Amino acid sequence: MRYLTSGESHGPQLTTIIEGVPAGLPLQADDINENLARRQKGHGRGRRMQIEKDRVNIVGGVRHGTTLGSPIALVVENKDWKHWTKIMGIEPLEPGEEDEIKRKISRPRPGHADLNGGMKYGHRDLRNVLERSSARETTVRVAAGAVAQKLLNQLGINVVGHVLEIGGIKAEEPNYKSIQELQEVTEESPVRCFDSEASQEMMDAIDNAKKKGDSIGGVVEVVVEGMPAGIGSYVHYDRKLDAKIAMAIMSINAFKGVEFGLGFEMARKPGSEVHDEIAWNDEQGYYRKTNRLGGFEGGMTTGMPLHIKGVMKPIPTLYKPLKSVDIESKETFEASIERSDSCAVPSASVVAEAVVSWELAKALTEQFDSDRFERLKELIEQHRQYSKEF
């Protein structure tokens, strides 16, 4: 499976073309819309989210509610486009219009792609960079991830993204009885956090940051249950599934680090307190007595739940200005902006859920014959049985 995305933040639409989804998977727009709506929620989003009501239009690869095996094309319109038709127009400008628009951006924002992206592509209007580097693009990554998630759900694999930390407020270790409970409680929290007390404190921290014209980051976690053991590979560096997931998490806008299981804490513990003892019983087959490694050994799944964390830096678009240099005059200025989110960590946990789902579905479809969904399902069932008795 692979996908590409296209589209600018204030352009007409976002598009993704997804290849390699098995034929025969039930898929409807609502499967995707539900996740688009989840991404848009969250305390701390700015005014743009009141403008957008993201809905997908499936324009290829699906017939009568079932995938065809052909590329799936998904489109999400930008409602804000109507305010930007001139500035972001597709047609060349008429003589004199350039001056009329007067929205050329020559002031790179610290922490954004603006300056480096301008240098790379030779854009002296930095809007050409920021329009694409914007996290608006994660909308269609969530759409592609929703297709992957549908496939996983049909195979009995559940993926949940939630928030562990915002602006230094840490949630208690979530003590859910089932992944469904984690999902339900998280869904009710305006910051997608299982711990209701911490949720309130996180919201206060976001409001406080907003008042000060600042932004705050945090830590998200993706939990996965139901992944069979032995998915991924140890034989080549670029086939290791944990490495692919690390890349996927790091590709989310503003993400700066990733951990599996105990993560960086492993540096402070002896091996006997890090590795998980192996056990076997009739009902489960092989399992680990603990899950400190977060569901991966040797680049492959162990069959235990996956625990993947990612850290998001505070959004760099600040009302509180930081100093930067104008690329036309080379003079120092204080960067200021019109609108921004003060915290997008809750939304980012939905994006993390989507990109992890994508990598898992991709790994399964690569490891097993996957032209037909029913065949893939059968093979995975056989593999589960085989691994249990191995």
SS3 225: strand
Which residues lie below 8 Å from residue 278, measured CB to CB, with a gap of 6+? 286, 287, 288, 289
User: Applying CB under 6 A, does 134 fall inside the site for ligand EPS?
Assistant: yes
Is residue 136 a contact point for ligand EPS (CB under 6 A)? yes
The answer to whether the annotation marks 314 as part of a ligand binding site is: yes
Residue from 5, 9, 16, 158 touching ligand EPS (CB under 6 A): that is 9
Candidate residues 48, 162, 309, 362; the one interacting with ligand EPS per rule CB under 6 A: 48
CA 252 to CA 310: how far, in whole Å? 9
The stretches of 103-227 forming alpha helices (DSSP H) are 114-121, 127-133, 138-154, 179-188, 196-211
3-class SS of residue 170: strand
Q: CB of 117 within 8 A of CB of 123? A: yes
In whole angstroms, give the CA distance from residue 267 to residue 284.
31
Sign of the CA dihedral 87, 89, 94, 95? Answer: positive
Distances (CA, A) of 240 to 244, 297, 351, 384: 6, 10, 21, 20
Q: Is 135 in the site for ligand EPS (CB under 6 A)?
A: yes
Q: What are phi and psi of 221, to 5 degrees?
A: -130, 140
Find the shortest distance in angstroms from Cβ 313 to ligand EPS: 12
Annotated binding-site residue? 71:
no
Residue 254 annotated as binding site: yes
Pairing of strands 255-260, 323-325: unpaired
Please say which residue, 221 or 341, places its beta carbon nearer to ligand EPS. Answer: 341
In this complex, which beta carbon is closest to ligand EPS, that of residue 128 or of residue 340?
340
341 binds ligand EPS (CB under 6 A): yes
Nearest distance in Å: CB 71, ligand EPS: 24
Instruction: Quote the least distance from Cβ 45 to ligand EPS, whole Å.
Output: 7
Residue nearest to ligand EPS (CB): 48
Of 252, 49, 64, residue with least CA distance to 142: 252
Among 30-38, 42-50, 285-293, 320-328, the segment contacting ligand EPS (CB under 6 A): 42-50
Nearer Cβ to ligand EPS (177/339): 339
Give the separation between CA 32 and CA 145, rounded to whole angstroms.
9
Q: How far is the CB of 139 from ligand EPS (least distance, A)?
A: 5
- Our finding on whether 61 is near ligand EPS (CB under 6 A) is no
Q: Interacting stretch for ligand EPS, rule CB under 6 A, among 46-54, 86-94, 221-229, 327-335?
A: 46-54
In sequence order, which residues have a C-beta less than 8 Å from that of residue 282 and are 6 or more positions away? none
Stretch that binds ligand EPS, among 219-227, 267-275, 322-330, 338-346 (CB under 6 A): 338-346
Q: Provide the minimum distance between the beta carbon of 371 and ligand EPS in the complex, in angstroms, as a whole number.
A: 34
Q: Where are the beta strands (DSSP E) in the chain?
A: 2-6, 13-19, 56-60, 62-63, 66-67, 72-77, 158-166, 169-170, 218-225, 255-260, 278-281, 285-288, 296-297, 300-301, 306-312, 323-325, 332-334
Q: Is 46 in the site for ligand EPS (CB under 6 A)?
A: yes
As annotated, the binding site includes 39, 45, 132-134, 253-254, 298, 313-317, 339
Return residues touching ligand EPS (CB under 6 A). Answer: 9, 46, 48-49, 52, 134-136, 139, 317, 339-341
As annotated, the binding site for FMN includes 132-134, 253-254, 298, 313-317, 339
As annotated, the binding site for NADP(+) includes 39, 45
